[in-house]
Amino acid sequence: MQYKTQSEQNTIVFALNLAKKFKGGDIILLFGKIGSGKTTLVRGIAQYFGISKHIQSPTYVIIKSYKINKHVRTNKVKQLIHIDAYRLNTQSDLEELGINELICDKNNIVIIENPGRLFTNINAKYYLRLVITEPEDRNIDITIDN
C-alpha cells in the first residue's frame, strides 16, 4: 500500500489510523532519510495512545520508552518503545541495551527508526518507508506482514 501525505498534520492523521491496528507485541520498522517524517509518524502513534510527552528522535540516547495512558490502553499494551538504531553497530550493542527483551515483550509496541543491518532477521509486522517527494509531500510505502 502507498499513502501520500502533504503536511505534518496529514502524517499524524495517518499514524493515528495506523495505531488503531496495534494490539501489543507489534514491531514497526521505519526507513527514510533525515527529515522524511519518521519521528512525526511516531508522534501520531504516541498521540493515539494518550502519551502527552514531547516525542523526539532518540538518535543520541538510542531508546526512549513511554508509558501508555491506562485509559486508552488496548488489550495489554503498556509501553511504546522508540528506538533509533542509527548509532548501533553490532549485535552486542543490542544485547547491552536490552533491546531484545523489549522487542519480545508482548506488552510493548516497538518502533525502530533506521533499522539497517542489525534488524534484518526481526519478525516485524509493519515495514514503512518514508520518501520525500516534494518539500512538504511524503510517500509512505507500507507493508504489513501477517
Tell me the per-residue pLDDT of 13-54, one tens digit each, with 9 for 90 and over.
999 999 998 988 999 999 999 888 999 999 999 999 999 899
pLDDT of res. 54? 92
- The set of residues, in sequence order, having a beta carbon less than 8 Å from that of 133 and lying 6+ positions away, is 4, 139
**CATH fold of 2-144, please?**
Rossmann fold (3.40.50)
Q: What is the per-residue pLDDT across 65-90, written as a single tens digit (0 to 9) for each?
A: 999 877 665 668 899 999 999 888 88
- Which residues share a beta bridge with 128? 30, 142
DSSP line for 47-107 = HHTT--SPP---TTT-EEEEEPPTTT--TT--EEEEEEGGG--SHHHHHHHTHHHHHH-TT
